[in-house]
Structure 1
Amino acid sequence: MPTIPSAHAIGAILLTAAMFYGFVSGRARVEVISLLTVTVIALGLYVYPLPGQAPTDGLKLAFEGFGHYALVTICALMVLGRGLVTTGALEPVSRVLTRVWRHNQRIGLIVTLLLAFGMSMMVNDTPVLVLMIPIMASIAAHGGMATSRTLIPINSAVLIGGMSTTIGTSTNLLVVSIAGDMGMPPIGVFHFTPIVLAAAAVALPFIWLVMPRLLPDNSVAAGHEPRRFTALLRLRENSLAHSLSRSELDARLPSGIELFGEAGPEGRLLVSGTHVALEEAMRVLGATAAPAWLMERLGRGYGETGEDLTVVELSIAKDSGLIGKGVRNANLAELYNIAILGVHRARRPWLGAPSVEAAADNPFDEGDIILAVGTSANIEVMALTENVLVLEGAKEIPRSAKAPLALAIMAASIAPASIGLVPIAISALGGAIAMLITGCVRVDRVGRALSTKVILLVAASIAIGRVVLESGAATWLSELLALGLQYLPPAGVLAAVMLFVTVLTNFASNTTAAAVGTPIAFSLGKQLGIPVEPLVLAVLFGCNLCYATPVAYQTNMLIMSAGDYTFSDYARTGLPLVAIMIATLSVLLVFTYGLY
């Protein structure tokens, strides 16, 4: 019979249940619940310490998550991801995947899932996802599926891929090493890969076809037509578009771009399209949306001051000084060193027929929106002086000259951790520092890379995991589990062990699940006469079935901010996937080891 749980164990179980009920209910912000959890642990263990500990030990346990290596790793990886975004280092890969997505979104998603799965077999899960997040954000911005509908499926594929080899995750290595210390023969890198590949084949249709439908579209433009801007594109001297006919130009222009008339004098084209489509059109045609001399001057300014150029949308207010002026006589280039890229007309598109000259002279009116580029400081001065409103969604222009450097830093950070040379925490922190030193990420912009919600959630989950383990709650739960498994067939025993470890993984930590579950597997094997190896693999697999909560694994928390997910999004998609994987893996283990 299991022993009666201590008061601390009961308190830990109740606090864990209350914490996750708060997350699922959505009645309070994740940040508030996380801080309340840490506060309750700190106050409770200070007033009623664990046996043999002083009150200050409880404070250390409650707050050590804020300095834990896992939190440092996550923050460092966020900075690394920010460096890839600000330098545009992933644009070539993004463009290739974007072409696939434009051909067919379903094909694009399956290709992305398979790519993520394959990489995570040999590379740690976290770096793989760090690489994929900005790529998927770029694809979404270019008309692909919203990131809120792709990141959780991709994360699931990454986690399954990481489960398929002993080096896929640090948890796999932990389980294998504990089992080896307890006397089990060594397990090779690909020892259980066929089992996971077979289970992945069963789970993949759900991840690919069903999971995106269970997730909301959290994109800003959901349900709204994207804003279109009229722009005058200036072809560069070496642009191949100079020799193209109207039909040839139409064929080269990206979808969504409308071309008005023929090319004007000096190789100027009048077009209309969304901001994203205009950027693609400029890249394809070798053109600029502002005079080349002005863009060169803005570029030189960045080289001298280091201040980023920002593309921003400016709404003209009722009493703005720009009303009645056109692009040409507004003179924003000389007054504020700002370039106008395009104009969205709110009330009437043109005074007369659309033409190159009309684009420069058509006067602004109240409600018109200007697409402009300049430094944040100059834009702020211009907005105050001319009484225009800066709309949300400003976008920094990538510092493409540093893209190769950012990729090299990312590779240098991932490679040592992937082969086990150094922990991911050390290599990621070194890479983040390198991003800051080299200017790929500006020090004053680090805050944009970090998420307060994720930081507090990580700290609270580490604290609750320590309390569950040190209070004896995990041990009591394991004794309770062992009591009933003797009446189940081998497949049921394997499924029950996997389910128990999965619960620990999703509500405490995978390291706790590995540390508690592996000894249980050995004990059960001896008591029930079942080979130890399939039970150990059931523990290993259960430690990786961390799909149902954002705190289950650090990759879950990495995508929480990027996908604007709620706690229930993980549960709604993760619980069915957990059920599919447990059922499939249990059956495969039974047949692989002849337990039927």
Structure 2
Amino acid sequence: MLEMPSFHAIAAMVVTIAMFVGFVRGRMSIEIISLLTIAVIAVGLYFFPLEGTKEVDGLELAFGGFGHPALITICALMVMGRGLVVTGALEPAAHFLERVFKMNLQLGLLVSLLIAFVFSMFVNNTPVLVLMIPIFVALAQRGAMPVSKTLIPLNAASLLGGLATTIGTSTNILVVSIAVDLGMPEMGVFHFTPIVLMASLVALPYLWLVMPRMLPDNSVADASERRRFHTRLRVAGDSSMIGEEVSAILPRLPTDIRFHDELAGPIQPQQRIHISGTHEALEDAVRVLKGELAPSWVLDRIRRESSARSLDILVVEMTVTADSRLINRTLPTSGIADLHGVAVLGIHRPERLIGERDQYSEGGDLRIAEGDVLLVMGLPEDVQVFARSDSLLMLEGARELPRKSKALLSAVIMGVAVFTASVGIFPIAISALAGAILMFLTGCVKFDRVGRALSGQVIVLVAASIAIGRIIDDSGAAAWLGQMMGYGLQFLPPAAVVAAVMLFVTVLTNFASNATAATVGTPIAFSIAKQLGLPAEPLVLAVLFGCNLCYATPIAYQTNMLIMGEGGYQFKDYIRTGVPLVLIMVVSLSFLLAVNYGM
């Protein structure tokens, strides 16, 4: 006879459902709902403690998530991801995928999904996703698919890959270990890989073709005009483009780039070419042509001082006011570099005015006029002095250039952290935390900029999810749900039993935690197999698979929360895209298990 759940178990289930409903309705922010959930658990357990505990134990359970290794791991991974971005360490990988995306957006997404899937079979999917998130953020900024349409599919692909081997996730290892303790033979690394690969043949097309269409475009619309800057590109002596015609190199340049000179013959060393484009397009043109947008001596000086003084290089847009001394001067005659040690990379002027002949000097350089926007590069102090001295108005949106001198170092730090975690030398929490500390100590990430790497929304959501997982487990709610399920399964055919066990664990893992689902679900599955006279292995595999089908909520797995801030996702985005994927995987995996084990 199934007993009624305890008061605490009922309360735990009610709080979990209330939090879920609050997230889905979206009337309050995720941060508020998460903090309210923690507060309800803390106050409730203080006045009504769990059996055998004290009032203060409830406070530790409610607030323990803020010091939990999972939260520390996520924050450390965010910091390391920030280090890769600000040092430009991922630019080569981003350029490769950018070329694939330029060939075809769908092809680029498919290649990316397959990379995430394959790597996650052998390396913990968390560091794999950490490596790929900054790449896709950079690709979105370069005009590829919006990051909000790629991160959830990418995360799902990494989770699918982690499902395929016993070493793919820590949850797999946990389930297999519990099963061995219960008397089952140990499973090899690829014991169930064929089953997962066959199911993935059904799931991957959904991730590739359907899921991105179900996700919103959360790109932040730029309210201001995308300014085009006119400049003279100086072709370096070692450029691979020397000797080629402009028509031959155009396909390799960004589509935003325009040539304003009538160039006759091949490109020559040190040639100055009048081009225009957005700042990002000009940077790409510099990379392709191996040129410079300003005199090399001032650029070299800025970089040397930046390295010597450990200062970031800024790129700022400045408007020329009516009383500026620069009006009617050209960049070569302005003396800006000599006086202030900054470099002007380009000049923006409305296209309707740019063609007027009297605006150019005899040498073909554009004369600076009131209202022009200058693209200025320099150290923070020099940029401020230049703006004050020459009556310029600094616009919002200044950005820091990547600290490329630290690129290799940040890549090595991340690589060592990923390697030591993936092969089990250190837990992911220790390797990630050590990597984040090294990022700080080596200057890859600066202490005063760490706030840009962390998401407050993710932090409180992780803390709330950990508290929910603990109260569901400690209150006995998870065990009671398992017992209730065991009573009902005796009337179902074997294949349906497998599907029901998998679905139960899937629901549990999406609202509690993988570890809770594994520790509760594995003994239940083993017990059900004995009661119904079924082989234990397919039911244990149903638990293992269900623990990894954590696509439907952001609190189900740490990578779900890791992408939440970057993609600008809401709770309903996970439900909308994750529930169909869960159903696809439950049906396909249950069918394959039943066929494979003759059930």
What code does the residue aligned with 1:362 have? R
Q: How many angstroms does 1:320 deviate by?
A: 7.3
2:504 is matched with 500
Q: How many angstroms apart in 1 are the aligned matches of 2:225 and 2:285? A: 19
CA shift digits 1:387-408 (9 cap, x unpaired): 524323x432222222222221
- 478-487 or 146-155, larger mean C-alpha shift: 478-487
2:202 is matched with 202
1:363 is matched with 368
2:39 is matched with 39
What code does the residue aligned with 2:165 have? T
Q: How many angstroms does 1:274 deviate by?
A: 2.1
1:125 and 1:318, CA in 2 relative to 1: closer, same or farther beyond 3 A?
farther
2:236 is matched with 236
Q: 1:343 aligns with which of 339, 342, 347?
A: 347
1:30 is matched with 30
Q: How many angstroms does 1:5 deviate by?
A: 1.7
CA shift digits 1:445-473 (9 cap, x unpaired): 22221111111111111011111111111
Contact 1:320 1:388 in 2 (8 A): no
2:271 is matched with 267
Contact 2:229 2:277 in 1 (8 A): yes
1:156 and 1:130, CA in 2 relative to 1: closer, same or farther beyond 3 A?
same
What code does the residue aligned with 2:545 have? F
Q: How many angstroms apart in 2 are the aligned matches of 1:58 and 1:318? A: 66
- 446-455 or 252-261, larger mean C-alpha shift: 252-261
1:59 and 1:322, CA in 2 relative to 1: closer, same or farther beyond 3 A?
farther
Contact 2:387 2:394 in 1 (8 A): yes
Contact 2:231 2:346 in 1 (8 A): yes
What code does the residue aligned with 1:238 have? D
1:89 is matched with 89
Contact 2:120 2:162 in 1 (8 A): yes
2:181 is matched with 181
Counterpart secondary structure, 1:243:
coil
2:122 is matched with 122
Map residues 86-485 of structure 1 onto 2, 5 A cutoff. 86-221=86-221, 226-261=226-261, 262=263, 267-315=271-319, 327-328=331-332, 331-346=335-350, 348-352=353-357, 360-366=365-371, 368-380=372-384, 382=386, 386=391, 388-392=393-397, 394-485=398-489
CA shift digits 1:71-96 (9 cap, x unpaired): 11111111111111122112112111
What code does the residue aligned with 1:514 have? A
Q: How many angstroms apart in 2 are the aligned matches of 1:155 and 1:215? A: 14
Q: How many angstroms apart in 2 are the aligned matches of 1:552 and 1:381? A: 51
Q: How many angstroms does 1:354 deviate by?
A: 8.5
- 423-432 or 305-314, larger mean C-alpha shift: 305-314
- The percent of aligned pairs where both chains have the same amino acid is 57
Q: How many angstroms apart in 2 are the aligned matches of 1:315 and 1:478? A: 67
Q: How many angstroms does 1:420 deviate by?
A: 1.4
TM-score, normalised relative to structure 1: 0.94
TM-score, normalised relative to structure 2: 0.94
- 19-28 or 538-547, larger mean C-alpha shift: 19-28
Counterpart secondary structure, 1:548:
coil
- 264-273 or 582-591, larger mean C-alpha shift: 264-273
Where does structure 1 lack aligned partners over 5 or more consecutive residues? none
What code does the residue aligned with 1:584 have? S
Counterpart secondary structure, 2:357:
coil
Q: How many angstroms apart in 1 are the aligned matches of 2:509 and 2:49? A: 26
Q: How many angstroms apart in 1 are the aligned matches of 2:235 and 2:361? A: 13
Q: How many angstroms does 1:381 deviate by?
A: 5.0
1:50 is matched with 50
Q: How many angstroms apart in 2 are the aligned matches of 1:419 and 1:18? A: 40
Q: How many angstroms does 1:277 deviate by?
A: 1.6
Q: How many angstroms apart in 1 are the aligned matches of 2:251 and 2:69? A: 52
Q: How many angstroms does 1:52 deviate by?
A: 1.4
Q: How many angstroms apart in 2 are the aligned matches of 1:356 and 1:129? A: 52
Q: How many angstroms apart in 2 are the aligned matches of 1:320 and 1:494? A: 77
Contact 2:502 2:546 in 1 (8 A): yes
- 142-151 or 166-175, larger mean C-alpha shift: 142-151
- 220-229 or 337-346, larger mean C-alpha shift: 220-229
- 264-273 or 232-241, larger mean C-alpha shift: 264-273
1:533 and 1:266, CA in 2 relative to 1: closer, same or farther beyond 3 A?
closer
Q: How many angstroms apart in 2 are the aligned matches of 1:319 and 1:494? A: 78
1:370 and 1:489, CA in 2 relative to 1: closer, same or farther beyond 3 A?
farther
Q: How many angstroms does 1:10 deviate by?
A: 1.6
Contact 1:258 1:273 in 2 (8 A): yes
- 228-237 or 100-109, larger mean C-alpha shift: 228-237
**What RMSD, in angstroms, separates the aligned Cα atoms of the two structures?**
2.3
- 534-543 or 394-403, larger mean C-alpha shift: 394-403
Q: How many angstroms does 1:311 deviate by?
A: 2.3
1:557 is matched with 561
Q: How many angstroms apart in 2 are the aligned matches of 1:319 and 1:476? A: 77
Q: How many angstroms apart in 1 are the aligned matches of 2:246 and 2:170? A: 57
1:356 and 1:140, CA in 2 relative to 1: closer, same or farther beyond 3 A?
farther
CA shift digits 1:136-157 (9 cap, x unpaired): 1222222211111111101000
Counterpart secondary structure, 1:361:
coil
Q: How many angstroms does 1:319 deviate by?
A: 7.9
Contact 2:161 2:168 in 1 (8 A): yes
CA shift digits 1:33-66 (9 cap, x unpaired): 1111111111111121111111110111111111
Q: How many angstroms apart in 2 are the aligned matches of 1:543 and 1:357? A: 72
Q: How many angstroms does 1:553 deviate by?
A: 0.5
What code does the residue aligned with 2:40 have? V
CA shift digits 1:499-536 (9 cap, x unpaired): 11111111111111101110110111111121110000
Q: How many angstroms apart in 2 are the aligned matches of 1:333 and 1:79? A: 35
